[in-house]
Amino acid sequence: EGVQPQEYTIIKMEVLQPFPPKMGVLEGKRVFLAAATLRPETMYGQTNAWVLPDGKYGAYEINETDVFILTERAALNLAYQKYSRVPEKPTCLIELTGQDLIGLKLKSPLAFNDVIYALPMLTILTDKGTGIVTSVPSDAPDDYMALHDLKSKPALRAKYGVNDEWVLPFEIVPIINIPEFGDRAAEKVCLDLKIKSQNEKEKLAEAKRLTYLRGFTEGTMVVGEFTGRKVQEVKPLIRSKLSETGEAIIYSE
Ligand code: A2H
C-alpha cells in the first residue's frame, strides 16, 4: 500500500436476469458486479468481467436500490464513503465465491458488447480494489493474457465450468491508438515480450509499465464521443459522465 490514496472508478456491471438458483434471494433487486478500474476511458473495449474463483465475495445492499457484489473489505471501505444505507455495517444479503459468479451475464456501461460474462482470473488480489476487475484486452496486458489463456486452453475452461460461448466469440475491441504500439497495445506488448500466460508476473509488470505510460501520455481515442482526443484529457470527462449518470461511483482506498 502506498501513502497516497488510490482513487478508483467503480463500474456498475449490471447482472442480467435470470439469476442462478444460488442467487435467488436477490431476485427483483438491481444487482451489480462492482469492478474497480483506474482506466474509465477504456470501458468501450470491455469483453468480460474477472473474478477470483476461490475468492470470497458478498452481495451487499449499498443503498435503497442497489446491491453490489464485491469483497467484504471493499464493502466496509465503501460504507465509510458516501453510498451505504447503514454506514457502519453494510448488510450482506448472501455470501458467494468467485466460482458462483462465473458465467453471470452482464451489461456494462459504454461497452460495445451488449452482453458480456464473468470469467475466472487467477491473479486477482482480494486486498485491492473490490476483487472484481473489468476486462479490456486491447489495453490491459493482464486482461489480454487471461483471455488468451481461456481461449487457447479448453482444459482451463473445463476446470472452471466456463462455456465456450462466454469466451470464444469475444474479440479485442480497438479503442485507443498509441504511436508505435497501434490500437491493440496490450496484445502487441505481450507478443513482443513473448509472454506465455497470465502467471508471468514480472514480464506482465514490464508490459503494464510500457503500455500504461505511453497510453496515458500519447494515446488517442479511436471510438466513442471523444474520438480523436487525447486519453489524458478524456479520462476525467468520461469518469464524471459515468458518475453523473449513476453508472459508476468514485472509490478510494
Ligand atoms: B485496470 P493498481 Cl485498460 N487484482 O482497469 C488485480 N488487478 C486489479 C484488481 C485486483 N483486485 N483491482 C483492479 N485491478 C486492475 C482497466 C485497465 C487497468 C487497463 C489498463 C491497465 C489497468 C481494465 N482492466 O491497470 O495496482 C484494474 O485494471 C494497470 C495496473 O491499483 C485496475 O485498472 O494500480 C488496476 O488493476 C489497478 O491496479
Per-residue pLDDT band for 5 (boundaries 50, 70, 90) equals: confident
Is 140 near ligand 1, meaning CB less than 6 Å away? yes
Is 39 near ligand 1, meaning CB less than 6 Å away? yes
Residue 1 in domain:
no
Q: For 108, phi and psi rounded to 5 degrees?
A: -120, 145
Is 42 near ligand 1, meaning CB less than 6 Å away? yes
Residue 85 in this model has a pLDDT that exceeds 60 = no
Measured CA to CA, the distance from residue 29 to residue 66 in angstroms comes to 7
Is 141 near ligand 1, meaning CB less than 6 Å away? no
Question: What are 233-242's pLDDT values in tens digits?
Answer: 999 999 999 9
Residue 86 in this model has a pLDDT that exceeds 60 = no
C-alpha cell at 187: 496484445
pTM above 0.95, yes or no: yes
Q: What is the ipTM of this complex?
A: 0.98
* pLDDT at residue number 6: 87
Question: What are 23-75's pLDDT values in tens digits?
Answer: 999 999 999 999 999 999 999 999 999 999 999 999 999 887 899 999 999 99
Nearest to 240 by CA among 231, 232, 249: 249
Per-residue pLDDT band for 3 (boundaries 50, 70, 90) equals: low
Omega prior to 18 cis, within 30 of 0: yes
Q: How much distance in Å is there from the Cα of 134 to the middle of ligand 1?
A: 8
Q: Domain holding 115: CATH number?
A: 3.90.740.10
* pLDDT at residue number 142: 98
Residue 2 in domain:
no
Which among 10, 38, 54 is the best mutation to test ligand 1's pocket, defined by most ligand atoms within 8 Å of the CB? Answer: 38
What is the residue with the minimal CA distance to atom 21 of ligand 1? 140
Is 129 near ligand 1, meaning CB less than 6 Å away? yes
Residue 123 in domain:
yes
Average pLDDT, the chain: 94
Question: What are 205-244's pLDDT values in tens digits?
Answer: 999 999 988 888 899 999 999 999 999 999 999 999 999 9
What is the residue with the minimal CA distance to atom 26 of ligand 1? 128
Adjacent-strand bridge partners of 252:
7
Residue 67 in domain:
yes
Is 134 near ligand 1, meaning CB less than 6 Å away? yes
Residue 47 in domain:
yes
Total domain count, the chain: 1
Residue 240 in domain:
yes
- Boundaries of domain holding 40: 7-252
Residue 186 in domain:
yes
Residue 149 in domain:
yes
Is 207 near ligand 1, meaning CB less than 6 Å away? no
